[in-house]
Structure 1
Amino acid sequence: MSDTHEIQVVTFGLGAEVFAVPVTLVREILDYRETFHIPNGPEYLLGLTDMRGQGVTTIDFRLRLGLPHADPTPSTRILVVDVPLADRALMLGLVVDRVLEVSTFRGDQIDAAPDIGVRWPSDYIGGVVKRPDGFVVLVDIARVFSSADVPLLSRSIAHAA
């Protein structure tokens, strides 16, 4: 019996890999721009990006996943997402190499996360979808930004204010 549950996602690229986050978590997609640098933050914390007068904490998603840094290109975007936490949603800007499309996956298309053979921690993976042109990795955004990250990011931003 096939699972008819569907999930809509925004797919984006980091290097050769394709990732996805649920469209319900995406607030906005911004063209890349330089951030207001925040000193003494974690390496992946780039700073603050202005989104219609509101400062959005912006991180290099490649670095956060343990991938090497890449210089911005004309395709680089900032994916503004709500990270679900226990007590609230944390709005973050994720710098990605390129945003690809909005896709719909059926539940029966989503396989469990592999536990070997990937370059990033597999507990960040919510599932994998096989497509004719390769795999799409569904990112468990709440696990990427653990409870340990939140105080660190909050403290860095508070010191910059």
Structure 2
Amino acid sequence: MSGGSEVQVVTFGLAAETFAIPVALVREILDYREPFRIPNGPGFLLGLTDLRGEGVTTVDLRLRLGMTSAEPSLSTRILVVDVPLEGRVLTLGLVVDRVLDVSTVDRSQIGPAPDVGMHWESDYIAGVAKRADGFVVFIDMERIFSATDVDSLSSLATAA
């Protein structure tokens, strides 16, 4: 996480965990609505969400992070994010259990991903911060999807 001494983030919950992404990547926050299903996509792909006539590729962030899926509730939201990737911007809808807040975090409070002594898929973790109510995991949106994922999601977005 580069830049000044502070970063503004949107924090959101998945199950009992708290995650954050830079507010600069978030285009808007939508109430959940059932995406238009697309057959034969990756398991985490839910389909397309209509955003003022534009089809936004929508993914279940729980599934992408290796968590179990959950039924949408009244607090379920779709974070529409613009992810900069190799000279282009990929717009995605991320289904999250709930949006918590927009806050400012001092970069000095953000540490590296913990070393758990074994290999685990943690490339997407940009850092971890301690708060009074637990930990916040900062997601690196440029690394969360593999090159294969990005290619298939990009082709879906182009076709929409």
Same fold by TM (over 0.5)? yes
2:69 maps to amino acid: H
What's the TM-score once normalised by structure 1's chain length?
0.91
Match for residue 31 of structure 1? 31
Match for residue 114 of structure 2? 114
Contact 1:49/1:57 (8 A) holds in 2: yes
Matched, 1:40 2:40: yes
Aligned length: 156
Residue aligned with 2:116, SS: coil
Contact 1:124/1:141 (8 A) holds in 2: yes
Residue aligned with 1:103, SS: strand
Residue aligned with 1:29, SS: strand
Structure 1: runs of 5+ lacking an equivalent: none
Match for residue 126 of structure 2? 126
* Distance apart, 1:155 and its partner CA: 3.8
Structure 2: runs of 5+ lacking an equivalent: none
2:51 maps to amino acid: M
What's the TM-score once normalised by structure 2's chain length?
0.91
For 1:126 and 1:41, the matched residues in 2 are separated by 27
Match for residue 85 of structure 1? 85
Residue aligned with 2:66, SS: coil
Contact 1:60/1:95 (8 A) holds in 2: yes
Contact 2:44/2:61 (8 A) holds in 1: yes
* Distance apart, 1:115 and its partner CA: 2.7
Contact 2:57/2:156 (8 A) holds in 1: no
| 4+ runs deviating over 4 angstroms | none
Residue aligned with 2:47, SS: strand
Contact 1:114/1:122 (8 A) holds in 2: no
